[in-house]
Amino acid sequence: MLKDSKKQGKLIVFSAPSGSGKTTIVRHLLKQEELNLEFSISATSRDKRGNEQHGKDYYYLSLKEFKNKIKADEFLEWEEVYRDNFYGTLKAEVERIWAKGKHVIFDIDVSGGLRIKRKFPEQTLAVFVKPPDLNELVRRLKDRGEESEDKISMRVAKAPAELATAPLFDVVVVNSDLDTALKNAYELVSDFINS
């Protein structure tokens, strides 16, 4: 399955360091009905947090289930982000969205985003969302108030390596002003879908 075909929809990848604003941009684009987008729900082996729901936030799999799906080649891409903490995109999820006649939009880490671009170079628009600078990234992560200082430090430590991948993406959207970033992202996606 998942052969390169003109009948299939397009793949729109948004990747960035945590705190860059990619999730805000993806949520905005999903509300634009004329773009005909549907969000790709990732699979994970981590436990649910708070009010998260299976099939809405993630597809929650046990570690064994996740590893079995890797062996069965059921993932478009996957990664062990932290020890025994796997995340990935199921091929069946992309097929489900394409069967509805929609384009797939991803909010995904840089490694996963680049893997999708490599597998489907013509069908994928890979967008890197860049914060204006690292200080602003730290401020945004703290302003969220969702994570401990340790978790924020871990995310900030990963950011320089993630930022270094920006040139590998099709386009970089600098999110220093959210309204401008939303407008730029909309134009990029709209142009790509209609090309």
Predicted confidence at residue 49, as pLDDT, reads 80
Mean predicted confidence (pLDDT) in 147-170: 86
Q: What is the pLDDT of residues 43-98, one digit of tens each?
A: 999 988 888 899 998 999 999 999 999 999 999 999 987 788 899 999 999 999 99
Domains, the chain, ordered by start: 11-193 (3.40.50.300)
pTM metric for this prediction: 0.89
Q: What is the pLDDT of residue 81?
A: 78
Would you call 95 exposed, middle or buried from its count of C-beta atoms within 10 A (0-12, 13-18, 19+)?
middle
The set of residues, in sequence order, having a beta carbon less than 8 Å from that of 130 and lying 6+ positions away, is 16, 20, 163, 166, 172, 173, 174, 175
